[in-house]
Amino acid sequence: MSGGNDLFDRISASVERALQPVLDAMAQQVRQRIGVPVDKSKKPWVRSKPGEPPRKDTGQLQASTNIQSIDANSEIRGSVSVERPYARRLNNEMDRPIFGDILQQNRDAILNAMRRGVTNPNNNGE
């Protein structure tokens, strides 16, 4: 039965390699989305309005954008996250969407990467 585990391990590694460039691109899209600087030319500063992504003030939110591929308990997952304590409050409670429709925009690229990883587990995921 170890042959089945070996195949799963190869497929998992291949899918993870294939997903990595997609996750990198999604993280860059998030960084760009939250990288619009605060307009400090007039008072009061215009940070963002409800429905707009948070604007860049200190750059901490943008710098905390993180990607991760996870292969745990026979599940292959990838995540793009923003690791600042106030990110969830901005996104959920203050209606400053950090991610917007980035997942939907990248849906086909994600599915294609997973397909490549599954159909050819002996390659490098490309």
Stretch 85-103: mean pLDDT = 90
Residue type, 31: R
pTM of the model: 0.80
Residue type, 12: S
Q: What is residue 42's predicted lDDT score, i.e. its pLDDT?
A: 80
The structural domains of the chain, with segments of one domain joined by +, span 2-119
Stretch 85-110: mean pLDDT = 91
Where do runs of H (alpha helix) occur along 36-76? 60-63
Collapsing DSSP to helix, strand or coil, 16 comes out as: helix
In angstroms, the CA 93 to CA 87 distance is 10
Residues 6+ away with beta carbon under 8 Å from 52? 96, 97
Kindly indicate the confidence band of residue 71, based on its pLDDT and cuts at 50, 70 and 90: low
pLDDT digits (tens, 9 = 90+) for 42-54: 888 878 889 999 9
Residues 6+ away with beta carbon under 8 Å from 96? 48, 50, 52, 53, 54, 90
